[in-house]
Amino acid sequence: MANKGTIGILTGGGDVPGLNPAIRAVTIRAIREGYRVIGIKRGWAGLVDLVQDREADNSGNFHVLSEEIVNPAGRTGGTFLHSSRTRPSHLPRPNLPVHLRGSYQDEINDVTPQVLKNIEWLGLDFLVPIGGDDTLSYGYRLHKEGVKVVAIPKTMDNDVPGTDYCIGFGTCVSRTIELAHTLRTSAGSHERFLVIEVFGRYAGYSALLPTMAGAADRCVIPELDFDIEQLTDLLVYDRNRHPSSYSVVLVSEGAKIRGDDSMSFLETEKDQYGHAKLGGIGRRVGDELKRLSPKYNAGRRINVINQRLGYLVRCGAPDALDCVVPMAFGNLALDLILEGTSGRLVNIRNGVYGSISMEVINGPHKVVDVDKFYNRERLRPNFKDLNNAPLFIMNAD
């Protein structure tokens, strides 16, 4: 068995393709370096719900990982460790496990002291959380409390600060391009506008990059409120120039119509990080395009095909990039652990692998540089000044 120590690994927030390859990379390298690896289940929830009793059934909270477990899992999408949006520093009383309800009485509770005890009980020498800025912000809190943490960035939105790339983003872009091109057959058959709603709460990378790759004629992103009349005019122009009389726009879920500063939500209930589920802006844009189209199309209305991609771009197996990058990130994490270094976020900066202080997680969201990469007048990407740009054009700065 292991003789160097024990490493815990968990995944939090939304699932993305590439999580299982990252778990595999960390686990195999760690075992071969002489570590024991424990998979924490359901993100931070596994460290909240754990019962400190060797006779208790903690199979829903953690289990010891092996090469036999992670090898087949590494070829699949999602996360076999499961995930949650549990936030131990802001845990609602109804979410407290039964064995903690006598110790915490408030409506919202900070159970970090118990999480620290559970980490000690498990004997974790290092903790490797894989997640977006919400999951990693709590990882940084644990780092400040003295836990040795090495973090790996993950999110479809690609908005974790300090890194050019987050696990899941490549598959998101690939699927968006593929699905947009597939939907063109219906848009062209009926000579309609095609409105596709994609991920992107604060950052428009998942709309901008596919549009840059030819998936759409126009895109609207969260970083800049857009004029719906301007968008209608441009899409009519695109449609009239297309041999099959249709045009396509990608709409980030966090985009806002100018004059209405509110995001569109599918529901009002918020998760423990204060986020309500986004969705619906694509439908609103489609309705407005249909209403306004006669004004720009000689009095004739143009109908709309409206599609929200949602989980279609986050389910299933990872693409090549989301197999390679998680492998590299996992091994970078082990390099740091072997050095005895913690409080770091593994990253890619200008196409080069490395790491950065986890303190960056507390900074502002990483968003698109609108002045550099987005054409405000044309509502589409800029295609110039790409010399010396990184693989995905836009970097962490």
| Geometric angle at alpha carbon 13, from 8 and 14, rounded to 5° | 125
In sequence order, what are the residues at sequence separation of 6 or more whose Cβ sits closer than 8 angstroms to the Cβ of residue 248? 180, 183, 184, 187, 193, 194, 196, 215, 216, 217, 218, 238
**How many CB atoms sit inside 10 A of residue 244's CB?**
13
Radius of gyration of the chain measured on its C-alpha atoms: 23
Q: Is 160 helix (H, G, I), strand (E, B) or coil?
A: coil
* Tokens at 214, concatenated: 């030819």
Exposure b/e, 350-382, CB count within 10 A at least 16 = b: eeebebbebebbeeeebbbeeeebbeeeebbbb
Catalytic residue positions?
157
Find, among 134, 30, 86, 346, the residue nearest to 39 by Cα. 30
Q: Are 272 and 85 in contact (CB under 8 A)?
A: yes
Residue 14 DSSP class: S
- 118 SS3 class: helix
Q: How many CB atoms lie within 10 A of CB 385?
A: 10
Number of separate helices (H) and strands (E) present in the chain: 11, 17
Q: In whole angstroms, give the CA distance from residue 257 to residue 247.
A: 19
Tokens for 115? 């999480």
- Tokens at 311, concatenated: 């989980």
